[in-house]
Amino acid sequence: MLDKRLVQEGRSVWGLLLLTVGMGMGIALLAVAQAWFLSRVVAGVFLEGATLSTVWNSLVLILGLIILRAVLQWVSELSAHEAASRVKSSLRQRLMSHIVSLGPMYARGERTGELITTVVDGIEALEEYFTKYLPQLLLAAGIPLLILGFVFPLDWQSGIILFLTGPLIPFFMILIGKLAEKKSQHQFQSLSWMSAHFLDVLQGMTTLKVFGRAQDQTRVIERISDSFRKATLSVLRIAFLSALVLEFLATMSTALVAVTIGLRLVYGTFSFSAGLFLLLLAPEFYTPLRTLGLNFHAGLSGANAAGRIFEILDLPLTSSVDVGEDLEDDHVLATAFQISFQHVSLTYQPGEKPALNRVNLALKFGEKVALVGPSGAGKTSLAQLLLRFIEPTAGEIFVNDRLLKTISPKNWRQQIAYVPQSPYLFAGSIAENIHFGRPSATSAEVESAAQEASAHEFILKLPNGYQTFLGEGGTRLSGGQAQRIAIARAILKDAPVLILDEATSNLDPESEHVVQQALKRLIQGKTVLVIAHRLSTVRQADRILVMEQGKIVEQGKHEELMREQGLYYRMVTEYRGDSQ
């Protein structure tokens, strides 16, 4: 199973792979020399009456050849593992970079556990492909030809037998491999499904417990695990079958050579030392072919894993930037800029109803704009476009007079701070989580940001203060505390554009009040886009945009919209105490 894409990946380490193959060829040459000296010693001792002293030098030389073969084998394995490590490291880095470039919209559409399996186990499956299968593929072609070069001058009959029986091993290897290919693919898919489901269960443990479905999922995992077990055993059965067939063919072929040589020795038409030399070489002729057959399933596993890896790498990125254009970004973004949406439409999947439909919007520098509307109106989609996580299906977004898509996403996102409804806190200390806003910030700047976010007091009450370790997702903190950490992160970044995506919708009144005070300090002097369900939080906005079915249907200040008695008025009156 020679995968062209994997071979291309190996170009960067061809030197190490060629060293591995070269060491293998050297081992084969030493094996020939060892067989030659051993046959001469045995013939001398048993037929010519040679003593230990006369063959001592030859025995020492044979011992030296054995030690040298071991050294070459060690170098070969070392270089092969180094090559595999470099390829895996490079591929894993590229894969993660590509997933990050694809953005959160892609990640949300995939099962996290399956992606983890691909990035971790999938790339690890390439280890044996580069250490065993790929070098052995070259050795399986080179070593038999090398040995035939020594056999034919001594005995053409044995050479013909080796030449005709040798191809039978790769033929049956390919035949059995075709049978194993689909089963190997099914095994990798089963592993991915099991990993994805197991991660879902772990992340949803609270929900499963509350609804009494934990035992059901235990049985589901048991069933999926059993499916993976069966898939693995199917692959192993074929691997063992191939090993049996290849060993049988190699043994029978060696026996055929031995019989022909034995008959000629009986009739005295062939010398004993030459016959023993050929008998010792016959197993060496078939060994690389047998080894290739045994490693064929490693090649299948690597190729199947690579299929999923390259499937992700081949996904097109939503935006591309010419290298030369990056140089202008700082100049464009250093001045006060206006963001303009012109006839922007967005459809997530072909044939679906548009999430945004010909939206026109202008955000002036320093303006506070609020987005309101029923769920599914397109508020978050608009924010995702502004964050460059997705690109519009139609229309354009401009920064001043320049297309946003011509500015590198990295440089553009440096201008934006984002506080989502449910901020994600990474497993690490509180200080490390705040540092995400600006990694170069000092400890004093981190504490200052926490103070402005009203987080400093509760942080000091934690066991280790700013060095308190948070579990995955910040599980040790309440919703309000996690939100204040996210606000501190945004304050530390101090970006000119701020997006607040329902930042207080899940908080209790007391936490909301504290967070609102922190947000008031955060939005000073910034262009702010607020997405809110609680309409009481948007009254002070410079402009309120009301969205419905992907369109902006109303806009103005709170008092103006209330006088119009349109959708905004109806939404406000639905909230108790918000009828004024």
pLDDT in tens, 150-161: 989 888 888 898
Instruction: Return the pLDDT at 333.
Output: 59
What average pLDDT does this structure show over 265-284?
86
Copy the structure tokens of residue 149. 């070069």
CA distance 437 to 444: 14
Q: Does residue 393 carry a pLDDT above 50?
A: yes
What average pLDDT does this structure show over 91-100?
88
Q: Identity (one letter) of the amino acid at 151? A: V
Which structural domains are found in the chain, ordered by start? 7-313 (1.20.1560.10), 418-494 (3.40.50.300)
Q: What percent of the chain has pLDDT over 70?
A: 92
Of 436, 491, 493, 429, nearest to 463 (Cα)? 429
42, exposed or middle or buried, with CB in 10 Å at 0-12, 13-18, 19+?
Answer: middle
CB count within 10 Å of CB 292 equals 23
Q: Does residue 225 carry a pLDDT above 50?
A: yes
Instruction: Return the pLDDT at 177.
Output: 66
Instruction: Return the pLDDT at 308.
Output: 83
Task: Check if the beta carbon of residue 148 is closer than 8 Å to that of residue 278.
Answer: no
Q: Identity (one letter) of the amino acid at 181? A: E
Instruction: Return the pLDDT at 190.
Output: 80
- CB under 8 Å to 466, separation ≥6 — which residues? 429, 430, 431, 434, 443, 446, 447, 450, 459
Question: What separation, in Å, do the N-terminal and C-terminal C-alpha atoms of the chain show?
Answer: 73
> Mean pLDDT in the chain?
83
pLDDT single digits (tens) 36-86: 999 888 888 888 778 888 888 989 999 999 999 999 999 999 999 999 999
Instruction: Return the pLDDT at 335.
Output: 58
Q: Does residue 575 carry a pLDDT above 70?
A: no
Copy the structure tokens of residue 327. 């140089």
What average pLDDT does this structure show over 5-30?
90
Three-state DSSP class for residue 429:
strand
Q: Does residue 317 carry a pLDDT above 70?
A: yes
pTM of the model: 0.72
Q: Identity (one letter) of the amino acid at 482? A: A
What average pLDDT does this structure show over 257-274?
85
**Mean pLDDT lowest among 50-59, 73-82, 169-178, 563-572:** 169-178
Of 456, 509, 457, 449, nearest to 479 (Cα)? 509
